[in-house]
Amino acid sequence: MPASEADKELVKRIRAAEPDAWQECINQYEGRLIAFARSRLNDQSSAEDVVQETFMGFLKALPNYDDNTPLESWLFSIAAHKLIDAMRRTGRRPTVPLLLQDSQGGGREPSGGGRAASSMMRSQEKSVAEAVVVEQCMAALVADFRKNGAWERLQCVELIFVLGWANKDVARRLNITEQAVANHKFFVVAKLKDAAKKARLQNVNLDGMGLD
Contact (Cβ atoms closer than 8 angstroms) between residue 100 and residue 158: no
| Residue ranges of domains in the chain, CATH in brackets | 5-108 (1.10.1740.10), 126-198 (1.10.10.10)
Neighbours of 156 (CB within 10 A): 27
Nearest CA-CA partner of 96 in 61, 120, 66: 120
Query: Cα dihedral sign for 57, 164, 73, 207?
Result: negative
**Taking the model in full, what pTM does it have?**
0.46
Start-to-end C-alpha separation, the chain: 28
* Per-residue pLDDT tens digits for 40-79: 888 888 889 999 999 988 888 888 788 888 888 888 888 8
Residues ≥6 apart with Cβ < 8 Å to 192: 133, 134, 137, 138, 204, 206, 209
Beta bridge partners of 192: none
pLDDT digits (tens, 9 = 90+) for 69-108: 888 888 888 888 888 888 777 665 544 344 444 443 433 3
Distance CA 129, CA 196 (A): 9
Q: Which amino acid makes up residue 184?
A: H
The percentage of the chain sitting over the pLDDT mark of 70, rounded to a whole number, equals 70
